[in-house]
Structure 1
């Protein structure tokens, strides 16, 4: 493509200078690449020829196929791209300087009630206990030999159930993002202090505490579950993820999609609304504020760069209070 050099320089700047996460750089690269491809199709050979009218025409074209939130991200990407080119004196002027970001309607995040969160954690705990009951008890050696393949599968399944409980407890206890959870290593845990070191967006590190339920679930995973999946990895002769805290069935570092599937299935089993791991993050923040936590403390725990992002959870708390009020005083 004609503008590949400019795009590559911009992505390197975002990654090395601005310190943006790999996911953010990837998203911005796709957005700018699509824009530049469209400009090329329209006959532009020089980005100095792009005007604010050109950019508004591009926005009108894209708005037909994308939501406002997606367009807001695309607009920010284009604005930063042209600002980068101007700063490097690769452009005589910046046509995107006055390009407005589409307004995004305010939506309250999906949050579980305290009771629903308790039901979800109980569901994960019940699964673990059921699997332990299946494996418990003495077994006749002859019967054990005949049932060996089934027992092996059961042991691996128990390891998965133990892992799922530990992941759910940690997500809810810390409010961390799913990408942060899957990126955790064994060395990030300090069990004696019940804290975990989290690498957030933009490679910003923070230390987050977690409670006793999460601590106990993690201890069981580390002692009973993780060795089973790690041994399967070694037996299969595949590359081992020795440092990863949470492993998948093949013994490799668990992926984000797998975690989302686990949360979705457990919520379904607990007869709760379909939720994502991010709903646990929202729930943790809201419940902390309900319990009297300081807004700044919640901001630090969640790794928000702006207090404004954390403030929306106060609106959720007010909305929940209004719903409880309406239930208690139906004639109000």
Structure 2
């Protein structure tokens, strides 16, 4: 069966080893353009593509979503051989500092979670810094419970790495898996591998039961990852080691946490001792 240009482009992404999530995103964005405009982006002028992006923005797309659309369209135009793709400039995204949960809040979430499985998930996410997709892809045999080591296979960018988890997490996982020695680590009531959406819902529910206001701190798996990174930094762990544990390819990605660690910042500020000895 003959493929059109977009289908050939998607096939190229698969050959490059892009993740299913990335491929799904590219396919969705290009097909949305095709359905709305009625033409392949490669056959449209830069002005037409910019008009499309402007319409998306006015229809309610936020800056982050618009940025992804612009990047995908640029990549596609470059692939088909267009030299004017650089005229499409993705919007600048303001850098938001990640929110983090306190150790006390995370403990409350673990205690509020109903099942041993859910307690183990929250604690493993927090103490290892895994992404939710990485957690859901774990098999029992990926864990070394004696040494508290987890091997992440095919993480973001198809990279393998190891991380660690605490004795408390080990104890909960042992209780949860029982005699199982292989297969998916976390399973649903049908015995199938848990999906990220299931984990996200469970963590949101645990946060609510723990009394953490959703409007104040939205409890998500990624927030546990942010908390892991920030708390390590608070305890003076070298940022290069945190980079390895998180699986970041660039140190610049990890460095956002240096702007979040308020307690560390305040400690260094107080060491400067700017007091003038003024009596008030």
Match among 96, 99, 115 for residue 104 of structure 2: 115
1:232-243 residue pairs with structure 2 within 5 A? 243=183
Residue 196 of structure 1 aligns to a residue in which SS?
Answer: strand
Give CA-to-partner distance per residue, 1:34-85, whole Å, 9 cap, x none: 1233342xxx5793x5332222212111111310000111111111111111
Give the aligned partner of residue 56 of structure 2: 62
Give CA-to-partner distance per residue, 1:224-245, whole Å, 9 cap, x none: 7x79xxxxxxxxxxxxxx6111
Mark the structure with the bigger radius of gyration. Answer: 1
Give the aligned partner of residue 44 of structure 2: 50
Give CA-to-partner distance per residue, 1:172-231, whole Å, 9 cap, x none: 01111111111111121122221111131232211111121111111111117x79xxxx
- Displacement of 1:263 in angstroms is 0.9
Give the aligned partner of residue 106 of structure 1: 95
Q: TM-score, normalised by structure 1?
A: 0.73
Tell me, which stretches of 5 or more residues in structure 2 are unaligned? Answer: 270-280
Give the aligned partner of residue 186 of structure 1: 140
Q: Which moved more, 1:167-176 or 1:31-40?
A: 31-40
Give the aligned partner of residue 251 of structure 1: 191
Report the CA distance shift for 1:273/1:304 in structure 2 as closer, same or farther (over 3 A): farther
Report the CA distance shift for 1:121/1:57 in structure 2 as closer, same or farther (over 3 A): same
Give the aligned partner of residue 263 of structure 1: 203
Give the aligned partner of residue 204 of structure 1: 159
Q: TM-score, normalised by structure 2?
A: 0.85
Give the aligned partner of residue 236 of structure 1: none
Q: Distance in 2 between matches of 1:7 and 1:316?
A: 41
1:65-84 residue pairs with structure 2 within 5 A? 65-84=60-79
Tell me, which stretches of 5 or more residues in structure 1 are unaligned? Answer: 87-92, 128-160, 228-241, 326-332
Contact conserved, 2:143 with 2:150, CA < 8 A, in 1? Answer: yes
Contact conserved, 2:140 with 2:183, CA < 8 A, in 1? Answer: yes
Q: Which one has a larger percent helix, Structure 1 or Structure 2? A: 1
Residue 161 of structure 2 aligns to a residue in which SS?
Answer: strand
- Displacement of 1:277 in angstroms is 1.1
> Pairwise CA RMSD of aligned residues?
2.5
Match among 152, 174, 179 for residue 128 of structure 2: 174
